[in-house]
Amino acid sequence: MTREEPERTALSTSVGDYLKAIWVIARDGPAATGDIARALGVTASSVTGMLGKLKRMNLIRYKPYYGAQLTGVGRGEALRLVRRHRLLETFLIRDLGYTWDEVHEEAERMEHVMSVRFTERLAEHLGQPSHDPHGDPIPGDDGSVPATPSTALCDVREGADFTVSRILSQDADVLGYVTELGIGPGSVLHVEAREPLGDVMMVRFAGRRLSISRELGSLILGAAGDS
């Protein structure tokens, strides 16, 4: 949408949150009901009811036991909200001094009331960033999504170096812990060893040897290379 175009009819906050959650979970594939429920902190029955509504609005394609997949219209609305959210997080951290574990809820409140003009002026002010401080890609105003390495640290073999591109979490405890470790986008880790059952891996970073659980390693995404 150009700045001269009128605003779309605003969707309700709850509808927008569902569309955004479906895109974040599955991009262009189907998102399972249970995954949507966990992402939004609601019951599965509530999700089922809302998915029926979104289907009637032509925002998703939905079949029970298959999941929900965004239509073209739904994808456009989801990307519009994701763009606003990630620009806001970038602004709050870069310009207002928020820490990256503080910004999610603030951005959630503001993203639904931003105009197109404000969104694009904010993007210009920030220098048209391609990724937010968590390393998450910021969709362009044309709906394009910047490519981002997506190998999980937990899947990297012993002896490899790993460059972090993003932390796939909005949980304040997770982000606070990763911050304490000093790990963020651009960090280079060296995978030294794994426990025999594979639940814990040892990595070297900034002269320290760290124990990383498989669960945490699944949230640290990036690109692996030879050491």
Angle at 219 between CA 216 and CA 220, to 5 degrees: 95
Instruction: Kindly tell me if the per-residue pLDDT of 93 is higher than 50.
Output: yes
| pLDDT class of 2 with cuts at 50, 70, 90 | very low
Sheet architecture: strand order including 200-205: 151-152, 220-226, 160-167, 188-194, 200-205, 208-213
Question: Position 134: which residue type?
Answer: H
Superfamily of domain 151-226: Ferrous iron transport protein A (FeoA) (2.30.30.90)
Question: Tell me: the pLDDT tens digits for 170-218?
Answer: 888 999 999 999 999 999 999 999 887 778 999 999 999 999 999 999 9
Instruction: Kindly tell me if the per-residue pLDDT of 10 is higher than 80.
Output: no
Distance, C-alpha 203 to centroid of its chain: 24
Instruction: Kindly tell me if the per-residue pLDDT of 227 is higher than 50.
Output: yes
In this structure, the number of other CB atoms found within 10 A of the CB of residue 158 comes to: 12
**pTM summary value:** 0.86
Question: Tell me: the pLDDT tens digits for 56-68?
Answer: 999 999 988 889 9
| pLDDT class of 11 with cuts at 50, 70, 90 | confident
The answer to whether the CB of 149 falls within 8 A of the CB of 199 is: no
Q: State residue 226's pLDDT score.
A: 66
**Buried b / exposed e across 125-149, counting CB within 10 Å, b at 16+?**
eeeebebbbbbbbbbebeeebeebe
Q: State residue 196's pLDDT score.
A: 77
Question: Position 195: which residue type?
Answer: E
Task: Give domain limits for the chain.
Answer: 13-73, 151-226
Alpha carbon distances (Å) from 143 to 73, 138, 140, 182: 11, 10, 5, 32
Instruction: Kindly tell me if the per-residue pLDDT of 166 is higher than 60.
Output: yes
**Buried b / exposed e across 92-105, counting CB within 10 Å, b at 16+?**
bbeeeebebbbbbe
| pLDDT class of 7 with cuts at 50, 70, 90 | very low
Burial of 81 (0-12, 13-18, 19+ CB in 10 A): buried
Fold of 13-73: Arc Repressor Mutant, subunit A (1.10.10)
Instruction: Kindly tell me if the per-residue pLDDT of 83 is higher than 60.
Output: yes
